[in-house]
């Protein structure tokens, strides 16, 4: 739904902080009138520079597109030295989910998520908008709706209708950056989003980034080492601005089946259509939505209801694992620190004796002081990372 542009800060009740971004923070909030839960993004406005251009781009892009697989901008309003964006709230993002999965999702689920993302990208491209930062952390997941949604359109850009449009090549997160961008292209199109979405799909199939470069040159070298030399299949690469600045040894492509041994042959064939070096030969979002792989080849993509149930199951497993980890860590910590254990025992005794006017036994006090003079054993190495997906 398009933003109302009529809300104020008092329309919403902040609940808790969700995270911090480059230009502000995101909070969970509720709509006072309806009780609906939303995400409230606060962007600080500096007097010297005004509203950041990436924020303007995100607002314009989300105002232009209304689609179930693109995160909805519900409201925009100013308050003091800040502007607030109200967006629909989603349970988690794909990057967080993949970090916690013990194994890749079933192919039905992967196909269902990919179909939704292709639909969202098709909607953006149909409106003449390039996202330019497609990646797992910019893919939000709603367990209640069973939906995947493209988000964070801060790098989105309308397509220029000129014959040779000029854009910046410094877009897209490195691991998902198309080869034309790595070679400094300033004239490019929606195919950069297709390359990135292909690598998101590869991550769904294998749980880890397919081509994780350390810097731009390393990224380009890894692309070539993984997918082979570019010249034989893409002669136009020689015309890109940064071609020839650094030479890489000839390389043969590594079969995708070796890189993703658990993926089916149809899935690998579908992935290859996203990772064509030549942008003109990459599949389009509209073609992907109507492809045999997503439309007719078994297993068929999971629908929203099945995806929602699967996401809820993942969240419950993560919460159970988190509770078990914390219980084990607490038990280990107590076993490693007798002083702490004694203090807890004495706290329990005091609780039982409260109101009876009894002091701590002298022998317990002496034992505690003796232990405090001793050097406690080194604590166990315990991972306290929170696992819940919400």
Residue 14 belongs to domain spanning: 9-88
Q: Which residues contact 81 (CB under 8 A, 6 or more apart)?
A: 44, 45, 47
pLDDT in tens, the chain (390 residues): 444 445 566 788 888 888 776 667 888 998 988 888 999 888 887 766 667 777 787 788 778 888 999 998 888 888 878 888 898 999 899 999 999 999 999 999 999 999 999 999 999 999 999 999 999 999 999 998 999 999 887 777 787 665 555 555 555 688 999 999 999 888 889 999 999 999 999 999 999 999 999 998 999 999 999 999 998 999 889 989 888 888 889 999 999 999 999 999 999 999 999 999 999 999 999 999 999 999 999 999 999 999 999 999 988 887 777 777 777 777 776 665 565 555 656 655 555 544 444 444 445 445 444 444 443 333 223 232 333 333
Within-domain flag for 350? no
243 belongs to a structural domain: yes
* Sign of the CA dihedral with 92 first, then 93, 99, and 103 last: positive
Is residue 211 located within the same domain as residue 229?
A: yes
Task: Please name every residue paired with 40 in a beta bridge, in sequence order, or none if there are none.
Answer: 27, 86
* Terminal Cα distance for the chain, rounded: 24
> What residues form DSSP beta bridges with 84?
42, 77
**Are 81 and 99 in the same domain?**
no
Q: Give me the pLDDT at residue 222, please.
A: 95
- Tokens at residue 298, please? 């078994």
Same domain flag for 21 and 109? no
The residue among 304, 329, 349 that closes a domain is 304
Within 10 angstroms of residue 181's Cβ, the number of other Cβ atoms is 26
Q: Clarify whether residues 224 and 253 are in a common domain.
A: yes
E strand or H helix at 91: none
* Residue 331 marked in a binding site: no
Do 212 and 76 have their domain in common?
no
pLDDT at 33: 86
E strands, the chain, in order: 12-20, 24-31, 37-44, 73-79, 82-88, 92-93, 129-130, 139-142, 147-150, 157-158
Same domain assignment for residues 185 and 137: yes
Residues 155 and 223 in one domain: yes
Whether residue 309 lies inside any domain: the answer is no
- The verdict on whether 152 is a catalytic residue reads no
Whether 67 and 124 map to the same domain: the answer is no
Are 269 and 295 in a shared domain? yes
DSSP letters for 128-195: TEE-----GGGEEEETTTTEEEE---TT-EEPP-SSS----S--S-GGG--HHHHTT-SS--THHHHH
Q: Is residue 25 part of a domain?
A: yes
Residue 354 lies in a domain: no
In a domain, 229, yes or no: yes
pLDDT at 7: 55
Domain end, chosen from 53, 88, 123, is at 88
pLDDT, position 368: 42
Residue 106 is assigned to a structural domain of this protein: yes
Q: Are residues 258 and 288 in the same domain?
A: yes
Active-site residue (options: 93, 133, 152, 193): 133
CATH number, domain at 227?
Answer: 1.10.510.10
Same domain, 84 and 109: no
Number of domains forming the structure of the chain: 2
Among 239, 274, 304, the domain-final residue is 304
pLDDT value of residue 99: 92
The enclosing domain of 48 has a CATH number of 3.30.200.20
- Asked if residue 193 is part of any domain, the answer here is yes
Say yes or no: 261 and 115 in one domain. Answer: yes
Tell me what pLDDT residue 65 has: 85
Return the pLDDT at 337.
59
């Amino acid at each position: 739904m398009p933003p109302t542009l009529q809300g104020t800060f008092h329309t919403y009740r902040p609940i808790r902080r969700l995270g911090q971004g480059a230009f502000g923070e995101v909070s969970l909030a509720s709509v006072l009138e309806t009780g609906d839960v939303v995400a409230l993004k606060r962007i600080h406005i500096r007097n010297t520079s005004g509203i950041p251009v990436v924020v303007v781009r995100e607002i314009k892009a989300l105002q232009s597109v209304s689609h179930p697989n693109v995160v909805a901008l519900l409201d925009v309003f100013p308050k003091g030295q800040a502007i607030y964006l109200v967006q629909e709230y989603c349970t988690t993002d794909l990057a967080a989910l993949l970090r916690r999965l013990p194994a890749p999702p079933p192919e039905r689920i992967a196909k269902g998520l990919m179909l939704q993302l292709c639909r969202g990208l098709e909607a953006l491209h149909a409106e003449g908008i390039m996202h330019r930062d497609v990646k797992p952390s910019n893919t939000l997941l709603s367990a209640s709706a069973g939906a995947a949604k493209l988000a964070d359109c801060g790098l989105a850009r309308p397509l220029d209708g000129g014959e040779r449009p000029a854009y910046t090549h410094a877009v897209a997160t490195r691991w998902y950056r198309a080869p034309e961008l790595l070679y400094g292209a300033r004239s490019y199109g929606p195919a950069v989003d297709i390359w990135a979405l292909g690598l998101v799909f590869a991550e769904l199939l294998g749980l880890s980034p397919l081509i994780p470069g350390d810097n731009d040159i390393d990224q380009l070298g890894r692309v070539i080492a993984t997918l082979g030399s570019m010249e034989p299949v893409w002669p136009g690469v020689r015309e890109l601005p940064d071609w020839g600045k650094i030479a890489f040894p000839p390389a043969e492509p590594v079969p995708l089946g070796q890189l993703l041994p658990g993926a089916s042959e149809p899935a690998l064939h579908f992935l290859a259509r996203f990772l064509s070096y030549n942008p003109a030969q990459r599949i389009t979002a509209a073609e992907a939505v109507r492809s045999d792989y997503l439309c007719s080849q078994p297993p068929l993509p999971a629908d929203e209801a099945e995806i929602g149930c699967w996401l809820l199951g993942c969240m419950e497993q993560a919460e159970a694992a988190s509770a078990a980890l914390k219980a084990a860590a607490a038990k280990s910590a107590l076993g490693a620190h007798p002083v702490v254990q004694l203090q807890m025992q004495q706290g329990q005794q005091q609780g039982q004796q409260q109101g009876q006017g009894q002091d701590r036994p002298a022998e317990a006090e002496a034992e505690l002081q003796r232990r405090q003079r001793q050097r406690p054993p080194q604590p166990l190495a315990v991972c306290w990372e929170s696992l819940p997906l919400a």
